[in-house]
Structure 1
Amino acid sequence: MKAKRQRKIKEIIKNNDISTQEELANALKKAGFNVTQATVSRDIKELRLVKIARKDNVYVYGLPKQQAIVHSEDRLRLMMQEFVQDINFSENLIVLKTYPGNAHGVASLLDSSNWEGIIGTLAGDDTILLIIKPREKVEDILNKLKSLMK
């Protein structure tokens, strides 16, 4: 059922401008899927959907440009280059600023990267907070993040 629903999600976002999880949930319900917002949110994360700006500056869900990239380091590099605007830090915290709607996708890849020193991430719409332990790892992680953006 999950695979069928996720195939339908891909079809829906390819053929429609979907801006919110609620719109996606409603489209799935019309297609015969009984879903909650939480289910839609998990599917968006698993499918690694991104928000893409149309010419009129309305953001809609889309598939990553290069879905064929399998290796997570390559995916992370692509996401860092395309969506991260700025990196800053204070003490044991690193803050990444992304384009609106892209923080969750980047944070998810950082979570799955299992880098030594990152004990957690917290993502909003356009901001990611990385918690680093020990504090001495901050410089190494900053350098690694910056190298991925090149």
Structure 2
Amino acid sequence: MNKEERQKIIRQLITQNTIETQEELLDLLRKNGVKATQSTISRDARDLYIVKTYQENGTMKYSIVDQESQKNSEKKLRESLQESLRKIEQVGFVVLIHTENGLADVITNYIDEVNYEEIAGTIAGSDTIIIITHSDKMAQKVVRKFELLFKDSA
């Protein structure tokens, strides 16, 4: 099975089911005759703009973000950086973003929605965002992206 066929099935499964974990997605894929590894599914998730979103009951599920929604999230990210960014710094493969007090979690949500491929995960405090990347080089890319977003909005 090629990548396009697998991604079509993934899109279909996520649209038709409530899937909370990659393991659940892998199980559903297997039941549909698709053999894939977790790393393949992770790459497909980035390609398809799959993110975790909150359900009404507070649990998380996988959803597909459309391109327009991603552009809107990037616009919101740009605007929120303009309003609250205090400092960006890189520490190895980690990027720290310092914001005005109480705004880090909002900005982190926009970062997660934009779903940059360099970012492995985010953690938000009250005024600090920790962005974990896959390497020092990717952390540099993330810093440049955020600096450009901030400059574009200034």
TM score, norm. by length of structure 2: 0.61
* Separation in structure 2 between the aligned mates of residue 68 and residue 142 of structure 1, nearest angstrom: 18
Return the offset for 1:139: 9.2
Q: Give the 3-state SS of the residue equivalent to 2:57 in structure 1.
A: coil
Counterpart in 2 of 1:99? 109
2:51 maps to 1:53: no
Which residue is equivalent to 1:128? 131
Q: Over the residues paired in the alignment, what is the CA RMSD in angstroms?
A: 3.8
1:78 aligns with: 73
TM-superposed deviation, 1:105? 4.7
Aligned residue type for 1:98: T
Structure 1 unmatched runs, 5+: 109-120
Residue 39 (structure 1) aligned with residue 56 (structure 2): no
Q: State how far apart, in whole Å, the 1-side matches of 2:88 and 2:60 are.
A: 31
Query: How many pairs does the alignment contain?
Result: 125
- Unmatched 5+ stretches in structure 2: 98-103, 124-129, 133-137
Structure 2 residue matching 1:52: 3-state secondary structure: strand
Q: Which amino acid letter does the alignment assign opposite residue 60 of structure 1? A: K
Distance 1:79 1:20, change over 3 A: farther
Higher normalized helix content (fraction of residues) = 2
Q: Deviations over 1:87-133 (max 9, x none)?
A: 55255555275239x6385322xxxxxxxxxxxx5431444258459
Distance 1:91 1:46, change over 3 A: closer
Q: What's the CA shift for 1:51?
A: 1.2
Determine what percentage of the aligned residue pairs are the same residue.
Answer: 27
Conservation of the 8 A alpha-carbon contact between 1:45 and 1:105 = no
- Between the aligned partners of 1:16 and 1:139, the Cα distance in structure 2 is 34
Distance 1:104 1:68 in 2: 11
